[in-house]
Amino acid sequence: MTIPHPIPYQGSKRGLAPAILAYFPETMGRLIEPFAGSAALTLAAASSERATGFVINDLNEPLMNLWRAIINSPEHLARQYELLWKAQHAENRRRFYDAVRDEFNRAGKPELMLYLLARCVKASVRYNASGEFNQSPDNRRMGALPATLREHIFGASRLLKGRAECRSQDYKEVLADAAADDLIYMDPPYQGVCASRDPRYLKPILFDEFVDELDSLNSRNMSYLVSFDGRTGEKTHGRRLPPRLGLHLVELQAGRSSQATLLGRAEVTVESLYLSPTLAEQSKDDMMRYDLSHR
């Protein structure tokens, strides 16, 4: 089954989703994504029936309103995107994009955000100091064809309607609400772990506070996975999570670095996936049961 991906989003884990799913437990309650973004893991898990329900959360409220529109109003959203996509051909495309961006910053409508993400540079959101979307358009592309995006919107709606809850809360609130049989997948903005503001995110994630939250999850024996740091060749990206948390580290190959390729270097990007102590132990038990059943 082809997994639908209606939201183009820089940093999406759609390419790594199958490898990450391999570390999911055999049985679980809800899958919770506190830093959902494009919710790639939720869509992958829903397509393979790996959870009883889903919680999609992101502090970016317009993004979550877009998710609500995808899930609950797919026809309206697909039609509005098509109108915008066609209208951009009737006038200066840059002027049209800027007008849509201005209107989005005033009204925050889901279809406007979807159009901006489809057209902006590298599908990457950027915000100014006032919290307004200020990314420029990629003038080399027109955005996804309406028919193609319609298929992805309706595909995601079929997977998640009646099964997913969309929230826009601080990640700490979402973690506090997790139940014992839930699985939590976290892909926090690790480049924004300092006190200074990063234009990609509305609010930075402070490293020490995040570590404290993981410590709290450990004390509750919660099952969770964290995509956090990584490396390309000898260059590291982000701080590693501290050994005192007792996490099990798995390194996933994310493919060749496009930047390194441009510089003539064949370097592979490796991303770190951390498994909580409870999940690592459960995975070990699942593998033992599998071995015994196939003897």
Average pLDDT, the chain: 87
Residue that wins the pLDDT comparison between 239 and 216: 216
Structure confidence at residue 162 as a pLDDT band (50, 70, 90): very high
Alpha helix positions (H), the chain:
17-21, 40-47, 61-72, 74-87, 93-107, 110-119, 146-160, 171-176, 207-219, 258-262, 277-293
- Average pLDDT estimate for 72-90: 97
Q: Which fold has domain 70-151?
A: Adenine-specific Methyltransferase; domain 2 (1.10.1020)
Give the pLDDT of residue 124: 86
pTM over 0.85: yes
Give me the mean pLDDT over the 282-289 stretch: 57
Region 152-165: what's the mean pLDDT? 98
Q: Distance from first CA to last CA of the chain, Å, rounded?
A: 31
Secondary structure of residue 105 in the 3-state scheme: helix
| For the chain, domain boundaries | 70-151
**Tens-place pLDDT, residues 229-285:** 878 777 777 788 999 999 999 999 876 544 443 344 557 889 999 999 999 998 765
| Measured CA distances, 38 to 11, 14, 33, 278 (Å) | 9, 9, 10, 27
Maximal CA-CA distance, the chain? 68
In the structure encoding, which two tokens stand for residue 82, read together? 């098509």
Please report the pLDDT score of residue 173 as a whole number: 98
pLDDT computed for residue 9 by the predictor? 84
